Amino acid sequence: MRNPGPRPKLQPKPRIGTKPVRDPFPPGHNDSARRGFAPAPPNKMAPKAPVPKNAYSLEIKSDSQFDEMATLGDGLIRGTKSLKVLIDKQQQENPKVYFIDGNYPSSAVKYHYDFAVQVLGANLSSDEFNDVTYWGPTLEKRKYIAATIQTFKTAQGEFYGLQFFPQDIINENMILYAFQAVKAKFAIPNRGFHFVAMGIQQSVETIRDAMKSLGADCLTIEDILGNTKYIPMNTGKAYGYLRVFPENPDKLTRYDIPIFRELPLDLSVVAATGTYDVQNPGSHINLKSKERGTPNIVIHDLEK
């Protein structure tokens, strides 16, 4: 009888009740490894093949062109469309505006960060990208400005609205700069193009007249939603421990259901999410909620 050789070692079974393993790809971070690409280094992105230029446009000239590139929104205002925009302002006097085709068959168009890395060749980690896109306190401190153009329907009619992520600390001068840059390339005739503030820190008091000279109204999301108190961003069922206004979102587990005042840019995997402040449908965490099938809601009648 032949010797079968050494018996293979069996892997130990996981113990019940042990601490759950963290998802190595938290929301807001590039998850190219999960989608089948080569894993990225810890601090810098690995080089990728360039994405064809038809993944974006440098100008929008008609409603039909917008409709072809935009994605149908569900959540904030159902039935509306939204289009991601990334402003490359490294040449501040001559910024380049990219209108991202959300229907192009590439992972590069789903997140502003992926687009910057795979299309513009940005050699930045996700944290570095956030620093120079959302957290820069002055225009000079930013390399990019990320925005979304969404269609809105109100009693006064339909219009396009430029908006920034609710967490973006963009100041008034940056709002005016970004709006002017986008409006110069967003040339749809006979349609209103206005600014809609998503975060309470996105003030326009000193630039209201300048915006009016551009033909733009300055609105808040409350002006659009009125008395709407509950918005299902992504529907579903979840069970877990309710955590109201948690201070350390990175310490949450997949068994927690946190309710935030506003969504953080990054979050560990949780059972479901909710906010008091209104969310952007194109936010990283709302997109991750859709990918994972976890509920995400806005409860706008909580006490602040």
Residues 176-181, mean pLDDT to the nearest whole number: 97
Residues 251-279, mean pLDDT to the nearest whole number: 84
Taking the C-alpha atoms of residue 68 and residue 76, their distance in angstroms, rounded to an integer, is: 21
Instruction: Look at residue 57 and give its three-state secondary structure.
Output: strand
Instruction: Look at residue 289 and give its three-state secondary structure.
Output: helix
Name which of 72, 76, 137, 29 is nearest 277 in CA terms. 76
Could you read off the pLDDT of 98-141 as tens digits, one per residue? 999 999 999 899 899 999 999 999 999 999 999 999 999 999 99
Q: Quote the Cα angle for 31-33-35, to 5°.
A: 75
Taking the C-alpha atoms of residue 173 and residue 182, their distance in angstroms, rounded to an integer, is: 14
pLDDT at position 146, please?
A: 96
Transcribe 89-106 into DSSP letters. -SSTTS-EEEEE-TTSSS
DSSP class of residue 186?
B
pLDDT at position 6, please?
A: 54
pLDDT at position 31, please?
A: 39
Which helix (H) or strand (E) segment is 151 a member of? strand 144-154
pLDDT at position 301, please?
A: 64
pLDDT at 262 over 80: no
Structure-model confidence comparison of residues 216 and 54, the more confident one: 216
Structure-model confidence comparison of residues 91 and 134, the more confident one: 134
List, in order, residues 6 or more apart from 195 with CB less than 8 Å away: 161, 162, 163, 175, 179, 204, 211, 216, 217, 218, 219
Taking the C-alpha atoms of residue 260 and residue 250, their distance in angstroms, rounded to an integer, is: 13
Give whichever of 41-45, 75-79, 103-107, 262-266 has the largest mean pLDDT.
103-107
- Number of residues that make up the chain: 304
Which helix (H) or strand (E) segment is 69 a member of? helix 63-69
Identify each DSSP E strand in the chain by its residue range.
56-57, 71-72, 81-88, 96-100, 144-154, 157-163, 192-197, 218-220, 230-234, 241-244, 256-260, 273-275, 296-299
Residues 179-191, mean pLDDT to the nearest whole number: 94
| Phi, psi (degrees; rounded to nearest 5) at 230 | -130, 125
pLDDT at position 44, please?
A: 47
Structure-model confidence comparison of residues 143 and 167, the more confident one: 143
User: What band does 28 get if pLDDT is binned at 50, 70 and 90?
Assistant: very low
Question: What is the C-alpha end-to-end distance of the chain, expressed in Å?
Answer: 77
Name which of 282, 246, 281, 285 is nearest 265 in CA terms. 285
Look-up of token digits 């990175």: 250
Encoded tokens for 180: 């002017």
The pTM (predicted TM-score) of the whole model is: 0.67
Taking the C-alpha atoms of residue 112 and residue 100, their distance in angstroms, rounded to an integer, is: 9
pLDDT at position 43, please?
A: 41
Instruction: Look at residue 245 and give its three-state secondary structure.
Output: coil
Flag the least confident range among 43-47, 89-93, 166-170, 192-196.
43-47
Residues 206-213, mean pLDDT to the nearest whole number: 96
What residues does each domain of the chain span?
A: 53-225, 230-299
